[in-house]
Chain A
């Protein structure tokens, strides 16, 4: 019988869960846990703000598939963790938050730095738990990791009162069976229903205008291989949502890219005109569907999702399949093979394919190159960045125009190379997420693509990057504005710009980055772009910030205005005259 403190049990439990790194910042109530950390094999990355710890944990989870861990103290530190928890909840990122809490005797007395962490985080975690006895710590940690990583992944939180960390306990590591028995209400379905899978296969073999609508669930399920096989077997086009970029290579001729509000004209239109949408791990988000009543009106729906509550939440599927996306896709492949062997032939897709390639030819992604001497085009900078990036480069983006341009103009060839805040749209996500990604994949080049608005929300974590020796690269697309909001004001509020101008010169990003220990480069003209990127790529022992001064007038196209149907998509102005060919 090994006796130890609750804090020692916590650290041991994290080691047992094979945690190799965590992100955090200590304080009063969590202090006991930081002491045994000194003897632990776990690396701790000391952040400058707890929000950073949370997004780093997310970035780490995005690229490794392993749960990210953030450990912070009570009160203000716990509330600082709320944004990343919500972000992880929206994007189904496995993450475990560990928070200190005031001593059990002080709970409920408005003690110093007390807050109702479990209450506050109830609706932004998959599950949370306030542990009231040191004996319960190992089970609470096991449950937290089990719940975060199985079924539909998501964030969990364990709240630990200070005396619970200090008290002595007898170590017991619960077995898998004990963990499962302790959660009688939690039994995720992973295997799809065979009859539904057969029915789906039948629909796929009969569809004339099918589209594979692939979402983040396919990345979570590590189903990239299975997807490729399914595409090759059926010859069906793929659209990859913002959350799924990278799950299928952009270079593949059947990949139409991202659909939705800022999707490619072809991806969005192909969904609209389809007669069968095969939804694999996506959730009919409003950024994809536009006005739901006008979305893909002729399409039958196959919906594969591990979360039964997604079935029928937005669009009622003809064939709902609850299960793990990889397992179901594999079964689907078998079922289609069986049908083929039994003599079923797919309808001829040639007409549909030529319609699609017609759209692709007429409505490619486009932008006007800048005039000599005028501000840079952000798309140009991104294309140059992309072309010079080593294979496997990971891109982490902020939220705004630069996010949409990154998703549109980058060419993702491998899964887990795109890290972004999709569901919550959290400005300030990119720098800490990039740091977390670099910790998870130190062998890879990691570019944070950021806007000037976003940068100012979490830039202090570049100090963390410098001090902890986590060299990332930041491409700061500085358009002096909260660009995405400016775009909406320009297009939908008669160019009445209200509180979107930041500043052209303040802050001085180069000085700021240098003060945080980074190498900083400012780029103002097109001919400086490539040399600056080359220099940034040559520096691998320090964080590099490249500030691109970009055109504040540039807008993201295509665009479906909020509340409109996807048939009302606005193409790039240069394609406006042929708009009606998108039919």
Chain B
């Protein structure tokens, strides 16, 4: 078995992008379905979707805990679930945000800030003995960052869980780059 860290890196996870009617209790329905059927979730992110009255739940599931097909079919039985897209990590863009407060004394601060710079993160706040940083990027990148910071002493850390969209195919990507309003947004 492939080793997986707690955030579901490696290719054993699958991402489900679930479009739901934004009704009271919809998140509880999804969560209790996973609990009841013994499916494991690595992360879950919810936010209103582009369509009025709809939300998108991005769930990173452990496909070793149960066949993806069953998970999708059972999810689809929930009346509030309107659409499910399976995002294979190889064919999707994934992003996550990490906030972290790291111990940083006057001596070590510049090392921490340098590291942050290398990862293209941001320094959000500085105190005499700690700094708060943010990093957005592919979840694997966040894993690496987290690992390197551990040496300095992590005071608090919060990750959002991944969100994802399907990769555009080559022709679609070209169209996107050529369209003026999309410029600079592809990458």
> Which residues of the partner chain A approach B79 to less than 8 Å between Cβ atoms?
126-127, 147, 183, 185-186
Q: Is the CB of B74 within 8 A of A309?
A: yes
The answer, yes or no, to whether B180 is at the interface (CB within 8 Å) is no
A183, A185, A308: residue with the most chain B Cβ atoms closer than 10 Å: A185
Q: Is the CB of A123 within 8 A of B36?
A: yes
Distance of B87 from chain A, by nearest CB (Å): 19
> Which residues of the partner chain A approach B73 to less than 8 Å between Cβ atoms?
308-309, 311
The answer, yes or no, to whether A119 is at the interface (CB within 8 Å) is yes
Distance of A292 from chain B, by nearest CB (Å): 14
Distance of A107 from chain B, by nearest CB (Å): 11
> Which residues of the partner chain B approach A183 to less than 8 Å between Cβ atoms?
79
Q: How far is the CA of A122 from the CA of B33 in the complex (A)?
A: 9
Distance of A348 from chain B, by nearest CB (Å): 38
- Interface members, chain B 58-104 (any A CB < 8 Å): 67, 69-70, 73-74, 76-83
> For this complex, into which size category does the number of interface residues on chain A fall?
10 to 19
Distance of B137 from chain A, by nearest CB (Å): 33
> Which residues of the partner chain B approach A127 to less than 8 Å between Cβ atoms?
79
The answer, yes or no, to whether A307 is at the interface (CB within 8 Å) is yes
The answer, yes or no, to whether B29 is at the interface (CB within 8 Å) is yes
> Which residues of the partner chain A approach B20 to less than 8 Å between Cβ atoms?
185
Q: Is the CB of B81 within 8 A of A185?
A: yes
> Which residues of the partner chain B approach A372 to less than 8 Å between Cβ atoms?
none
B82 partner, pick from A122, A123, A185, A309, beta carbons under 8 A = A185
Distance of B152 from chain A, by nearest CB (Å): 43
Q: Is the CB of B76 within 8 A of A308?
A: yes
The interface on chain B, measured as residues whose beta carbon lies within 8 A of the other chain's beta carbons, has a size of: 22
> Which residues of the partner chain A approach B28 to less than 8 Å between Cβ atoms?
119, 122
> Which residues of the partner chain A approach B76 to less than 8 Å between Cβ atoms?
185, 308-309
Q: Is the CB of B82 within 8 A of A184?
A: yes
> Which residues of the partner chain B approach A37 to less than 8 Å between Cβ atoms?
none
> Which residues of the partner chain A approach B78 to less than 8 Å between Cβ atoms?
185
> Which residues of the partner chain A approach B81 to less than 8 Å between Cβ atoms?
185
B32, B67, B78, B79: residue with the most chain A Cβ atoms closer than 10 Å: B79
B21 partner, pick from A130, A147, A184, beta carbons under 8 A = A184
The answer, yes or no, to whether A313 is at the interface (CB within 8 Å) is yes
Q: How far is the CA of A123 from the CA of B21 in the complex (A)?
A: 18
Q: How far is the CA of A490 from the CA of B76 in the complex (A)?
A: 44
Q: Is the CB of A123 within 8 A of B24?
A: no
Q: How far is the CA of A127 from the CA of B69 in the complex (A)?
A: 22
Distance of B39 from chain A, by nearest CB (Å): 13
The answer, yes or no, to whether A235 is at the interface (CB within 8 Å) is no
Q: Is the CB of B77 within 8 A of A309?
A: yes
The answer, yes or no, to whether B184 is at the interface (CB within 8 Å) is no
Chain B, residue nearest A183 (CB): B79
Chain B, residue nearest A185 (CB): B82
> Which residues of the partner chain B approach A308 to less than 8 Å between Cβ atoms?
73, 76
> Which residues of the partner chain B approach A309 to less than 8 Å between Cβ atoms?
70, 73-74, 76-77
The answer, yes or no, to whether B128 is at the interface (CB within 8 Å) is no
> Which residues of the partner chain A approach B74 to less than 8 Å between Cβ atoms?
309
Contact with A along B28-45 (1 / 0, CB 8 A): 110011001000000000
> Which residues of the partner chain A approach B80 to less than 8 Å between Cβ atoms?
185
> Which residues of the partner chain A approach B77 to less than 8 Å between Cβ atoms?
307, 309
The answer, yes or no, to whether A205 is at the interface (CB within 8 Å) is no
The answer, yes or no, to whether A312 is at the interface (CB within 8 Å) is yes
Q: Which residues of B contact A (CB under 8 A)?
A: 20-21, 24-25, 28-29, 32-33, 36, 67, 69-70, 73-74, 76-83
Q: Which 8 A-B pairs have the closest CB atoms?
A: A309-B73, A185-B82, A127-B79, A185-B81, A184-B82, A186-B79, A308-B73, A123-B36
User: 17 pairs across A/B with beta carbons < 8 Å?
Assistant: A119-B25, A122-B32, A123-B32, A123-B33, A123-B36, A126-B79, A130-B24, A185-B21, A185-B79, A185-B80, A185-B81, A185-B82, A307-B77, A308-B76, A309-B73, A309-B74, A312-B67
Q: A185-B76, A185-B81 are in contact. List 7 more A-B contacts (CB 8 A).
A: A119-B25, A126-B79, A185-B21, A185-B80, A186-B79, A311-B73, A312-B67
